[in-house]
């Protein structure tokens, strides 16, 4: 008997497979198609001949842990201890899985704010715990009154995703103040803060949980080098948490993957001495603006994009189809793949919205926009 009877093939797999079958431009799955920074590939090439191919310590390559601590201090003015408060993971998804399976127990509840990324629910179910799906407002801001009402003595964790996938929204100062008041009311609730797009934000500054004194003792923060440095296939992420939580998380991590790819950790450690997060932000803001400009002549209504490399668009002026059917027709008739937003909701809420990934080279964005403007 299946432990996950209601979970099927990921919508990302479905749409990417259809895109391949129909030779469509794939703006569905969130991965860049442009080259990795040449400086990073040169670092990897040099390291390939060096003695960096055996296990690293379970928590991570020690120099990388120190670099992450320095990176965190530079970005957020937070001092973290490399040996006790940081863990390198095999991507953010593994980190999230490890956090939840470590800290959530049978019959406890985890609040998931919809629309939400699809990796949150499965580990909750595998813990024999209960996911509580709470919808964001239709403008994708949190309704803290409804979130408060969803909390109880059984609530063990609330998951926040900031910047938010799929919508591109970022949390504001007032949201963090509301979250902090909620935690005062419920002293046993932990926060999992998924911040994998933290260095891809635009006009408004990203507020990290790393900067919130009232949160950090009850919060596990998830980051992703794969997302930040457009090396998604490397599957390298990291967690920051207070020692009393990290100690327990490491117990599970050591039996799940033990240690993470050694050469990639060493390469990233060297790369952190060179890379500029301002350059990352600038590049993606240019791509966002370029893609939005290309779609100005289309019938799609573009939603605000404050962060991430995703653009949400309404097709309500084009069709009354549900978003899954519309996305399938977009592939078969127009040769462009997108993701239907309803699949990010526990109840399949359909607002006639789809998500495009603009982390693509300009030629790809231009051809995709050309096709989309014919609809």
* Strand ranges in the chain using DSSP code E only, listed in sequence order: 25-26, 86-89, 109-114, 130-135, 155-161, 190-194, 219-224, 237-240, 301-302, 310-314, 336-337, 339-340, 353-357
CA 75 to chain centre: 18
Q: Minimal CA–CA distance to 165: which of 335, 12, 3?
A: 12
Task: Mark 196-210 as b/e (b = at least 16 C-beta within 10 Å).
Answer: bbbbbbbeeebbbbb
> 115: pLDDT confidence band, cut at 50, 70 and 90?
very high
Distances (CA, A) of 189 to 119, 204, 217, 218, 249: 20, 28, 11, 8, 16
Mean pLDDT value of segment 166-185: 98
Please state, rounded to an integer, the average pLDDT across all residues of the chain.
Answer: 96
Residue 30 has pLDDT above 90, yes or no: no
| Tokens matching residue 352 | 């006639």
Residue 1 has pLDDT above 90, yes or no: no
- 106 with 84: CB under 8 angstroms? no
Pairing relation of β-strands 25-26 and 336-337?
parallel
Apex 261 CA angle, 259 and 264, nearest 5: 135
Residue 271 has pLDDT above 90, yes or no: yes
Write out pLDDT tens, residues 50-99: 999 999 999 999 999 999 999 999 999 999 999 999 999 999 999 999 99
Residue 29 has pLDDT above 90, yes or no: no
What distance in Å separates the CA atoms of residue 114 and residue 310, rounded to the nearest whole number?
16
φ/ψ (deg, to 5) at 311:
-115, 120
The answer to whether the peptide bond before residue 166 is cis (omega within 30 degrees of 0) is yes
- 221 with 184: CB under 8 angstroms? no
pLDDT value of position 31: 86
């Amino acid at each position: 008997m299946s432990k996950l009877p209601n979970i099927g093939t990921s919508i990302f797999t479905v749409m990417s497979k259809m895109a391949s079958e129909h030779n469509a431009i794939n703006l569905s799955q969130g991965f860049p198609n442009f080259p990795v920074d040449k400086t990073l590939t040169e670092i990897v090439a040099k390291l390939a001949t060096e003695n960096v191919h055996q296990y690293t310590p379970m928590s991570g390559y020690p120099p990388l842990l120190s670099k992450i601590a320095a990176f965190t201090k530079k970005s957020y003015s937070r001092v973290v201890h490399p040996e006790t408060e940081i863990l390198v993971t095999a991507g953010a998804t593994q980190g999230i899985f490890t956090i939840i399976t470590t800290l959530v127990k049978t019959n406890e509840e985890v609040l998931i704010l919809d629309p939400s990324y699809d990796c949150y629910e499965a580990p909750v179910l595998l813990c024999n715990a209960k996911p509580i799906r709470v919808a964001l407002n239709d403008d994708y801001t949190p309704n803290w009154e409804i979130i408060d009402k969803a909390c109880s003595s059984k609530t063990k964790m609330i998951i926040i995703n900031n910047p938010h996938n799929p919508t591109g929204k970022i949390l504001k100062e007032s949201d963090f103040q509301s979250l902090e008041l909620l935690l005062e009311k419920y002293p046993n609730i932990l926060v999992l803060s998924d911040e994998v797009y933290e260095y891809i934000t635009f006009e408004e500054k990203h507020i990290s949980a790393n900067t919130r004194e009232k949160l950090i003792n009850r919060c596990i923060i998830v980051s992703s080098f794969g997302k930040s440095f457009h090396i998604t296939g490397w599957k390298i992420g990291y967690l920051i948490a207070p020692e009393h939580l990290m100690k327990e998380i490491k117990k599970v991590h050591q039996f799940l993957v033990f240690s993470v790819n050694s050469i990639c950790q060493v390469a990233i450690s060297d790369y952190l001495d060179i890379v500029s997060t301002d350059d990352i932000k600038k590049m993606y803001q240019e791509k966002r603006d370029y893609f939005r400009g290309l779609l100005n002549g289309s019938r799609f209504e573009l939603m605000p994009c404050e962060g991430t490399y995703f653009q949400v668009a309404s097709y309500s002026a084009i069709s009354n189809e549900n978003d899954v059917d519309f996305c399938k027709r977009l592939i078969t008739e127009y040769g462009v793949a997108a993701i239907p937003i309803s699949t990010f909701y526990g109840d399949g809420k359909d607002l006639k919205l789809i998500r495009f990934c603009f982390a693509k080279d300009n030629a790809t964005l231009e051809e995709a926009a050309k096709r989309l403007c014919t609809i």
